[in-house]
Amino acid sequence: MEADFVIVGSGSAGSALAYRLSEDGKHSVIVIEFGGTDAGPLIQMPSALSIPMNMARYDWGFKTEPEPHLGGRVLATPRGKVVGGSSSINGMVYVRGHARDFDHWAESGANGWAYADVLPYFKRMETSHGGEEGWRGTDGPMHVQRGTGANPLYKAFIEAGRQAGFQTTQDYNGSKQEGFGPMEQTIYKGRRWSAANAYLRPALKRPNVRLVKGFARRVVIENGRATGVEIETRGQMQVVQARREVVLAASSINSPKLLMLSGIGPAAHLREHGIDVVADRPGVGQNLQDHLELYIQQESLKPITLHSKLNWFSKGLIGAQWLFLRTGLGTTNHFESAAFLRSKPGVDYPDIQYHFLPAAMRYDGKSAAKAHGFQAHVGPMRSQSRGAVTLRSGDPADKPKIQFNYMAHDEDWADFRHCIRLTREIFGQDAFGDYRGREISPGSHVQSDEQLDAFIREHVESAYHPCGSCRMGRADDPTAVVDPQTRVIGVEGLRVADSSIFPRVTNGNLNGPSMMTGEKAADHILGRALIAPSNQEPWINPRWQVSDR
């Protein structure tokens, strides 16, 4: 139980790290994962995406504390407890984030993580099927595709955006994010292309990589240096020794929890739980961010939605077609149209994201509307609200306390009201004329600010993009947790490389940026020369100062 590098977590970043750290054969790698296998159709069949997310077998089962601005609601915070981590239970939506997101990281102290620096790593990790030439990778482990767009509602959504005066884009992961266009998926040959399929399985074929099943309890730190990870496996305590470094890639919930259990965090909080302080880092667990979204649902006058496929007979046929032929509706996540829009003049890059679905149902698969319908998932991307992950006790078996402090600012409410009204405007365009029935949710009677706020308070959901809880920043920044080389400040031989180090949430889904973080961190860890920065300039709307479109 000893290796040069010990990685905690086999998710998006951890799998990429294992692949790159072991690539030249010179270093041994152990990946610690508490979850079990990702084999089987529930995970590998893309259209089954709502099932594993709601299974205790695959999900850590985290929940928030009662959220004060949402009437005390408790929201689910799913994180993957399975090989591949959250990339094995997510919605398979692929978004890099906007160039300006990464420039903001660099400006806030994550030097070397500007868009010019990270674009080459996004290219290295991808094989893009249908993306913009010159902006996308062509031979990386992560396959990215578009859906077939067979359902006419996907095209109607894009056309409605154009009719409303917005931009369109052929590739929101290319030079131009802003606008309506096809959505990208981490699906390949009809299968979920998780970080486990892309990175971990190829890595495990190498003699220098091992996967160890165990529950990580704490990082072992001797004389200020991380020397291993204490794990519980089959009821026994063991230490997995790291000859060179320990890397936490355990998620924005478990990475700060592990740091605090290991004595790294806000000193008073650690002492309160009887933990000896190794490094007083007040930022550990702070700066927690997420995206929220609403489902705006419209009845469809034509019976062309997924509603007719929700019976057991149709599901059986779809499952059989997928199992034996890898074709049909089982091969898509059903998110095949998207939009990235700016909320108002003076916003220089998109701060609203849309996922469009030709069905009216919840992400967790529950309470499908009783009729044919379609929906847009919509939410603002850059809320000022910040929360925290803290310890419930000093016992590693206890789940941490998670408080996002959602909707803490007046601006959050104004942004969401705008999102609802904007979606109504888009659904009201001629492109939807042949399909548009009554509004299912919120319902056409919900119009005033007060009515919209009540709907938001009751129905807003997490988009499951938690990040930021071990913020990357300058080594002399007292609130930063890791430096721009991903080293934990104040401890030798320990790094964090996952979405917890994001200074600010990127606009879009986090699987892509998390894998990029693993890719880039591997070069820092190995002391390799970084890939030369890109000189490509992303498209910014020339009208951004005067118009939202």
Q: Which amino acid is at 246?
A: V
133: tokens are 């030439």
Q: Establish whether 13 is an annotated binding residue.
A: yes
Q: Is 18 annotated as a binding residue?
A: yes
Q: Binding residue per annotation — 445?
A: no
33 annotated ligand binder: yes
What is the dihedral sign for C-alpha 257, 261, 266, 271? positive
Q: Examine the residue annotation and report whether 465 is marked as an active-site residue of this protein.
A: yes
Cis bond leading into 442, ω under 30°?
yes
- 469 annotated binding-site participant: no
**Among the listed residues 464, 496, 365, the one whose alpha carbon sits nearest the alpha carbon of residue 63:** 464
Amino acid making up residue 51: I
Q: Is 16 annotated as a binding residue?
A: yes
Q: Is 22 annotated as a binding residue?
A: yes
- Is 5 annotated as ligand-binding? yes
Q: Is 32 marked as a binding-site residue? A: yes
Q: Would you say 27 is a known binding-site residue?
A: yes
Please state, in angstroms and rounded to a whole number, the distance separating the CA atoms of residues 479 and 501: 12
Task: Give the 3-state DSSP-derived string for 136-187, with helices as H, strands as E and coil as C.
Answer: CCECCCEEEEECCCCCHHHHHHHHHHHHCCCCECCCCCCCCCCEEEECEECE
Report long-range pairs for 71-77 (Cβ below 8 Å, ≥24 apart). Answer: 71/457, 71/458, 73/457, 73/458, 75/404, 75/406, 75/461, 75/462, 76/364, 76/462, 77/253, 77/402, 77/462, 77/464, 77/466
Instruction: Confirm or deny that 9 is annotated as ligand binding.
Output: yes
Cα–Cα distance, 24 to 123 (Å, whole number): 20
- Is 24 annotated as ligand-binding? yes
Give the single-character DSSP code of 501. Answer: G
Residue 30 β-bridge partners: 6, 210
Q: What is the DSSP letter of 38?
A: -
Residue 212, annotated ligand binder? no
Token pair, residue 415, equals 């942004």
| Cα–Cα nearest to 498, from 511, 507, 480 | 511
Q: Is 363 annotated as a binding residue?
A: no
Q: What share of the chain is helix, strand, coil (3-state, %, to 5)?
A: 30, 25, 45
Q: Is 42 annotated as a binding residue?
A: no
Residues sharing a CB contact under 8 Å with residue 236, sequence separation 6 or more, in sequence order: none
- Separation of alpha carbons 255 and 367, rounded Å: 34
Q: Which of 104, 355, 465, 524 is catalytic?
A: 465
- 29 annotated ligand-binding residue: yes
Residue 385 contacts by C-beta under 8 Å, 6 or more apart in sequence? Answer: 289, 404, 405, 406, 407, 408, 409, 412
Q: Following DSSP, what letter does each residue of 381-447 receive, concatenated?
A: S-----BEEE-SSS-TTSPPEEE--TT-SHHHHHHHHHHHHHHHHHHTSGGGTTTEEEEEES-TT--
- Binding residues, as ranges, are 4-33, 82, 90-93
| Residue positions annotated with a catalytic role | 465
- Binding residues for FAD, as ranges, are 4-33, 82, 90-93
